[in-house]
């Protein structure tokens, strides 16, 4: 297989066109309309990323007169059990209200009551920060605005490798997942916004793509940053949710905050306020699950309101799903179940380390959204740090314009490697079967309950998989090759997660990092970040600790 190549030049290159990436592209053009902004998007910019279409809330908004950034920092610090960099989260909360008003000026709808107040929901330990949104076309609004600003978008292009010159990131190499053509972008600065690792653990239904987050998110950004030498953190935070069985779609904020009841399998009512994911998973494991959402006691108008949000804004496929299951909210319950485990900066605490300027530890590289660690930043964090990354990347690019060079060092080696892989026509295992086994063993050994034996077994298996994917996997065409690249990133993320989990010799965050051999939380020794960085060889993972950053 021959791999053609094309070269483009940009002031700012953005890898990933979801929530954070789209906002970064827009902001980069606002800051400097004359600069060239290029976006690599693995899917299609109109419907890519975790929001894909619409959203029902902006999770963190510090509305003046109602809440403050200081209260948010205090509240989120409780949720993160102390492991949260305060300046990073303060800056996000500080910019959240202006960001919301900007979205509103673009036509994004935030409902108000008769007195003109926004609808704020209580989902954080302290303060009401979750602001209701009813916008089924949110991603389309962003994509059209981005396109109208003359950003150059390469759809169906997966980021493969960052270009590092003299210790600075100077672009990236991408590959078109349909044609196999390389797109080499020489850039003044790069923003990674390619999401977390959604395809990590295996869903109960066994469907490889039936995951909570966007299934195209396979840790590509984590892998690119690690291989280039950037520092990562929080990989021991193995996250799962407790939501609709078999479809893994969210509805808790939408239903429980509007009067729905949460019940055990024995019809015992649980707390009326919005429960934590941890508490629901623990109830499920007490043999009183599955938990259920019940709405038949609600007035018809309220049920229709919930249906309107679920079926038009928050994953509209839910309407067809419930109809197929014969579930009517007026008569039946919605069954809940734990999702697969995954790695994510937005919903959790896993990501490329960034400071309050969205800067990574590699000059010229910035990160935003689920790929970066803005602890539990959700959509607000993606939008705000997308803007911050754009501002800082623009300034960096002014000082380091893209070099007009024919090709980066290592491009021919990369092509040679992919040609060798493409020759694996007679492999004994399909890539789908191989991915299934990788993710099944991630569930066996990387996810909680954890112990040293299981985590060491995970590292042994992942080393083995890294060899076998080059020896036993059958590659029939470019689509198989593209999946192989994704699975390699999943394997690397599993090694990073197992290594960090081995290092953190305590239990923290409830079930998400439960070490059965160290069952207690130990603030004295472990109230600090576990940092991961590539060693002298590609296989070596170096570990060090970093203190939690506090407000000055």
Q: Write out pLDDT tens, residues 158-216.
A: 999 999 999 999 999 999 999 999 999 999 999 999 999 999 999 988 899 999 999 99
Rounded to whole angstroms, the Cα distance separating 499 from 301 reads 51
The domain defined by 411-528 folds into Methane Monooxygenase Hydroxylase; Chain G, domain 1 (1.20.58)
Q: Are 10 and 186 in contact (CB under 8 A)?
A: yes
Block residue for tokens 């672009």: 171
pLDDT at 271 over 90: no
pLDDT at 273 over 70: no
pLDDT at 272 over 70: no
What string of H, E and C letters represents the secondary structure of 489-536? Answer: HHHHHHHHHHHHHHHCCCCECHHHECECCECCCCHHHHCEEEEEEECC
* Mean pLDDT value of segment 425-438: 97
Nearest to 431 by CA among 197, 199, 156: 199
pLDDT at 433 over 90: yes
Beta strands 292-294 and 334-338, pairing class? antiparallel
**Least confident interval from 58-67, 265-274, 335-344, 409-418:** 265-274
Residue 297: both structure tokens together: 């006691």
Crossing angle, helix 431-445 and helix 452-468, to 10 degrees? 170
What's the pLDDT band for 434 if we cut at 50, 70, 90?
A: very high
Peptide bond into 224 cis (omega under 30): no
Q: pLDDT (tens digit, 9 = 90+) per residue, 74-111? A: 999 999 999 999 999 999 999 999 999 999 999 999 99
Rounded to whole angstroms, the Cα distance separating 506 from 454 reads 15
pLDDT at 1 over 80: no
CATH code of the region 5-239+342-399: 3.50.50.60
| C-alpha neighbours within 13 Å on the C-beta side of residue 550 | 5
CA angle 490-496-500, nearest 5°?
Answer: 145
Sheet strands (E) in 368-498: 429-430, 473-474
Q: pLDDT (tens digit, 9 = 90+) per residue, 392-414? A: 999 999 999 998 876 777 899 99
Block residue for tokens 């066994």: 206
Nearest to 14 by CA among 397, 419, 505: 397
**% of the chain surpassing 70 pLDDT:** 99
C-beta atoms surrounding 464 within 10 Å? 12
Q: Are 197 and 373 in contact (CB under 8 A)?
A: no
Residue 538: both structure tokens together: 């590609």
Residues 6+ apart with CB under 8 A from 433: none
Q: pLDDT (tens digit, 9 = 90+) per residue, 292-334? A: 999 999 999 999 999 998 898 877 889 999 999 999 999 999 9
Q: Are 371 and 386 in contact (CB under 8 A)?
A: no
Q: Provide the Cα torsion 240, 245, 246, 247; round to 10°.
A: -80
213 versus 434: the higher-pLDDT residue is 434
What's the pLDDT band for 274 if we cut at 50, 70, 90?
A: low
Q: Are 421 and 473 in contact (CB under 8 A)?
A: no
- Looking at residue 406, what is its pLDDT? 67
The secondary structure of the chain in percent helix, strand, coil, rounded to multiples of 5, reads 35, 20, 40
Q: Are 349 and 237 in contact (CB under 8 A)?
A: yes
- DSSP-assigned beta bridge partners for residue 118: 112
Distance of CA 260 to the CA centre of its chain: 28
pLDDT at 278 over 90: no
3-state secondary structure of 54: coil
Q: Are 165 and 405 in contact (CB under 8 A)?
A: no
Which residue ranges make up each domain of the chain? 5-239+342-399, 242-336, 411-528
Q: What values do phi and psi take at 246, rounded to 5?
A: 75, -20
Return the CATH class of domain 242-336. alpha beta
* Mean pLDDT value of segment 206-233: 95
- Looking at residue 314, what is its pLDDT? 73
For the purposes of burial, counting CB atoms within 10 Å of the CB of 138, is it exposed (0-12), middle (13-18) or buried (19 or more)? buried
- Looking at residue 517, what is its pLDDT? 98
- Looking at residue 297, what is its pLDDT? 96
Crossing angle, helix 411-422 and helix 478-503, to 10 degrees? 110
Crossing angle, helix 452-468 and helix 478-503, to 10 degrees? 160
199 versus 122: the higher-pLDDT residue is 199
- Looking at residue 275, what is its pLDDT? 79
**% of the chain surpassing 90 pLDDT:** 85
* Mean pLDDT value of segment 376-391: 98
Residue 331: both structure tokens together: 């008569």
* Mean pLDDT value of segment 243-252: 88
1 versus 437: the higher-pLDDT residue is 437
- Looking at residue 538, what is its pLDDT? 82
Mean pLDDT of the chain: 95
Rounded to whole angstroms, the Cα distance separating 381 from 387 reads 10
CA angle 487-12-59, nearest 5°?
Answer: 65
């Amino acid at each position: 297989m021959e791999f053609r190549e094309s070269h483009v030049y940009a002031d700012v290159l953005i890898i990933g066109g979801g929530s954070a990436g789209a906002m970064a592209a827009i902001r980069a053009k606002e800051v400097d309309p004359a600069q060239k902004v290029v976006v690599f998007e693995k899917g299609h910019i109109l419907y890519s990323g975790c929001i894909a279409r619409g959203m029902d809330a902006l999770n963190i908004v510090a509305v003046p007169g109602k809440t403050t950034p200081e209260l948010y920092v205090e509240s989120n610090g409780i949720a993160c059990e102390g492991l949260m960099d305060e300046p990073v989260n303060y800056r996000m909360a500080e910019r959240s209200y202006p960001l919301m008003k900007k979205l509103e000026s673009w036509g994004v709808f935030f409902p108000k009551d008769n007195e003109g107040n926004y609808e704020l929901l209580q989902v954080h330990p302290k303060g009401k920060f979750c602001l209701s949104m009813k916008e089924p076309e949110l991603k389309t609004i962003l994509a059209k605005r981005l396109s109208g600003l003359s950003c150059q978008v390469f759809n169906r292009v997966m980021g493969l490798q960052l270009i590092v010159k003299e210790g600075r990131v100077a672009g990236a190499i991408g590959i078109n997942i349909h044609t196999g053509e390389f797109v080499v972008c020489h850039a003044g600065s790069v923003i990674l916004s390619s999401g977390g690792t959604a395809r990590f653990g295996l869903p109960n239904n066994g469907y490889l793509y039936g995951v909570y987050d966007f299934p195209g998110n396979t840790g590509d950004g984590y892998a690119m940053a690690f291989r280039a030498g950037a520092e990562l953190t929080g990989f021991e935070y193995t996250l799962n949710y407790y939501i609709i069985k078999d479809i893994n779609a969210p509805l808790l904020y939408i239903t429980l905050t509007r009067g729905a009841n949460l019940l055990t399998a024995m019809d015992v009512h649980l707390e009326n306020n919005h429960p934590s994911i941890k508490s629901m998973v623990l109830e499920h494991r007490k043999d009183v699950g599955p938990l259920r959402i019940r709405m038949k006691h609600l007035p018809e108008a309220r049920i229709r309101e919930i249906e309107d949000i679920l079926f038009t804004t928050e994953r509209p496929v839910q309407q067809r799903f419930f109809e197929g299951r014969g579930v009517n909210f007026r008569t039946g319950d919605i069954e809940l179940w734990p999702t697969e485990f995954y790695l994510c900066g937005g919903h959790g605490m896993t990501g490329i380390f960034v400071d309050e300027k969205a800067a990574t530890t590699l000059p010229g590289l910035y990160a935003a959204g689920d790929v970066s660690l803005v602890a539990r930043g959700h959509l607000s964090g993606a939008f705000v740090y997308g803007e911050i990354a754009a501002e800082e990347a623009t300034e960096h690019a002014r000082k380091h314009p893209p070099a007009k060079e024919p090709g980066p060092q290592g491009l021919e080696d990369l092509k040679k490697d992919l040609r060798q892989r493409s020759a694996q026509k007679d492999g004994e295992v399909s890539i789908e079967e191989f991915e299934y086994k990788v993710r099944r063993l991630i569930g066996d050994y990387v996810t909680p309950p954890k112990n040293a034996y299981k985590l060491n077994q995970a590292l042994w298996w992942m080393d083995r998989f890294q060899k076998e994917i080059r020896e036993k996997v059958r590659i029939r065409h470019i689509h198989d090759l593209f999946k192989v690249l994704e699975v390699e990133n999943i394997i690397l993320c599993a090694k990073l997660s197992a290594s960090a989990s081995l290092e953190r010799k305590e239990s923290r965050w409830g079930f998400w990092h439960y070490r059965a051999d160290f069952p207690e939380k130990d603030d004295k020794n472990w109230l600090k970040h576990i940092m991961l960085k590539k060693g002298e060889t590609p296989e070596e993972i170096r570990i060090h600790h970093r203190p939690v950053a506090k407000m000055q």
